[in-house]
Chain A
Amino acid sequence: MATLEIDIRLGLPDFTLEVAHSFALKGITALFGPSGCGKSTLLRVIAGFERGASGRVALGGEVWQDRRRFVLPHRRGVGYVFQDTRLFAHLDVAGNLRYAERRAPLGGIARSDVIEALDLGPLLRRRPVRLSGGERQRVAIGRTLLSHPRLLLMDEPLAALDGHRKHDLMPYIARLPGAFGVPILYVTHSIDEVTRLADDIVALSEGRLLAAGEVAATLERLDLPPVSGRFEAGSLIQARVKGVDRKFMLTLLDVAGQEMVMPGMAVPEGADLRLRVRARDVSLARRRPEEISIRNILAGRVAEIASEPTTAFAEVLVDIGGGQHLRARLTRASVSDLDLAPGAEVFVLVKSVAFDRRALPREADPGQAGAPHGARQGD
């Protein structure tokens, strides 16, 4: 597994981009942060588009940039999917694909595989101006794959698309690392895309590295300002579909040996899911509540508490067994009233669940778990 080593500095109008990190390139790594935090610029530095950056960039021991060397972009073998696609307007779709194919090293990715994987067949004779936003992005991804990149850089490929097309395109992207053996660095400011697509996350803020690691572990860390912002902060948990309740149209889930339910029945039995639970949708109780509308009540034990002295709030991390955690956002007054401390036994009340359509493990076809996106469990 190749490692991408970066230790770079680049002055930007509002701050200095300064990042030193080793990316263990496996699957999809999200470069995450708010707009204007320097994540796209970092991607451009890796591709070799920012000559002004100083420092070192190396992939698997092959140095692309240091004090003495600067390998030009076309020699790096890095594929780049741009937010604005940058299809060549003077060529049709087939011509765009051929452009990449002709310049790719031998033994590359097969054209027919790419056309099939991205459903490009019906588009081949069309000009880029005659394509929809989603179609353009699929062609751009296909074109990049055909250049047989060692590393695929994607710069907010879904940002220009509306909600429906976003979700249509996500399964295609999720499949890429497995189907074509290409690791992906994926720039996004959407926590939704991170939880649906990424294995690892590297979070940036104002040009600095905020946190890096496996997605679920990084999102539930309490010692960091929430990388996703207060509103979306939460945790990821894994669940297996136990069955469906046809009468009430619910899906029954097994989470660390405990039962949860969510609305809808489109997920096949036995499928593994990744659920995202926002901290503000989680409440805690010292005793199991009765006669309450909330259906998702899990037993757990407080693992960690982080108070925010300057606000009314505290974040509590609860161990629900099986190595899984839920993050709850409470007032500090509640923490005090309930006498919460690490080790305390609590019941976790989950008001709403958003689930990640992508099935786990990765080999499973993401298209199978085709329940409506973002189904939320009402209370």
Chain B
Amino acid sequence: MIAALDLAPIWLTLRLAATSTLLLMLLGTPLAWWLAHTPSRMKSLVEAVTALPLVLPPTVLGFYLLILLSPDSTIGGAWVSLTGDNLTFSFSGLVIATMIYSLPFAVQPLQAAFEAVGRAPLEAAASLRAPPRDAFLTVASPLALRGYLTALVLSFAHAIGEFGVVLMVGGNIPGRTKVISIAIYEHVETLEYTQAHALSALLLVFSFVVLALVYTINRRFPVAAG
């Protein structure tokens, strides 16, 4: 049964989730930091935009992304002239779509963790001659470790299970955009229930393990305050 299973969607899904999670951590950290510390009135608006993927139907998000990333648009066109490749129906486009779709899952735990750490330990670090970046890396980040772990696990898991946005932006190109959830959909459409069962069970077990992990993290690493 497993031998009959096409493993390509699994590897593609893992690659997509790993790439988008890594990039999300890099880009989501400064955004979460800004949201945690800014006194700006823009904060609420930015928070709302960040949370949009939680409430929008994936098809709506996918539709706008499809338009935004198409070769006729500014962004999509610039990408084509830079790399010679389309953003739509490509792995790169999927990474961008996944990052946007998973944004709240990365930013919200990080923001909460940075807010819990607060300014106090940063002031203490500054009084010990630590420049802001040094203080961020050596004090704020270790104290916000639980936030990082939660953000990492949730973004990765969310990327794995994504369907609607991927279908809209990436379509169903084997080896390029055909991820697990799309493969399951296709197997069901073509009445290949055995394969659909195997992949679905895989995702079910994976999701359960991930959630169990998140709750364990929350118990093991209580937010450390100074």
Q: Which residues of A line the B interface, CB within 8 A?
A: 47-49, 72-75, 77-80, 82, 84-90, 99-100, 103-104, 143-144, 147
User: Knowing A74-B132, A84-B120, A84-B226 touch, does A89 contact B143 (C-beta < 8 A)?
Assistant: yes
Distance in angstroms from A196 CB to nearest chain B CB is 25
Question: Contact check: which of B134, B145, B226 meets A88 at CB < 8 Å?
Answer: B226
Q: Does the CB pair B130–A103 fall under 8 Å?
A: yes
Q: Mark B121-156, 1 if CB is under 8 A from A, else 0.
A: 101111111111011001100110100000000000
A280 vs B143: C-alpha distance in the bound complex, in angstroms? Answer: 52
Q: With A88-B139, A99-B138 in contact, do A80 and B224 touch (Cβ < 8 Å)?
A: no
Q: Please give me the 8 A-B residue pairs with the lowest Cβ-Cβ distance, nearest first.
A: A80-B127, A86-B124, A73-B126, A89-B224, A103-B129, A90-B142, A86-B226, A74-B126
Q: How far is the CB of B135 from chain A (nearest CB, A)?
A: 8
- How would you classify the secondary structure of chain B's contact residues: helix, strand, loop or mixed? helix
How many chain B residues touch A (CB < 8 A): the figure is 22
Query: Which residue numbers of B lie inside 8 Å of A, CB to CB?
Result: 120-121, 123-132, 134-135, 138-139, 142-143, 145, 224-226
Pair B127/A78 contact, Cβ less than 8 Å: yes
Which B residues touch A77, using CB under 8 A?
129
Instruction: Other than A72-B131, A74-B128, A88-B139, give 7 A-B pairs with Cβ distance below 8 A.
Output: A75-B129, A78-B127, A80-B124, A86-B123, A89-B225, A90-B145, A99-B125
The answer for the CA separation of A100 and B130 in the assembled complex, in Å, is 8
Asked if A79 and B138 sit within 8 Å, CB to CB, the answer is no
What would 25 A/B residue contacts be, using CB atoms closer than 8 Å?
A: A47-B123, A47-B127, A72-B132, A74-B125, A74-B127, A74-B129, A74-B132, A79-B128, A80-B123, A80-B124, A82-B120, A82-B123, A84-B120, A84-B226, A88-B143, A88-B226, A89-B224, A90-B224, A99-B138, A100-B129, A103-B134, A143-B128, A144-B127, A144-B128, A147-B128
How far apart sit A200 and B226, CA to CA, in the bound complex (Å)?
Answer: 32
A84-B120, A88-B139, A90-B143 given; A79·B127 CB < 8 A: yes
CA gap between A89 and B226 in the complex, in Å: 5
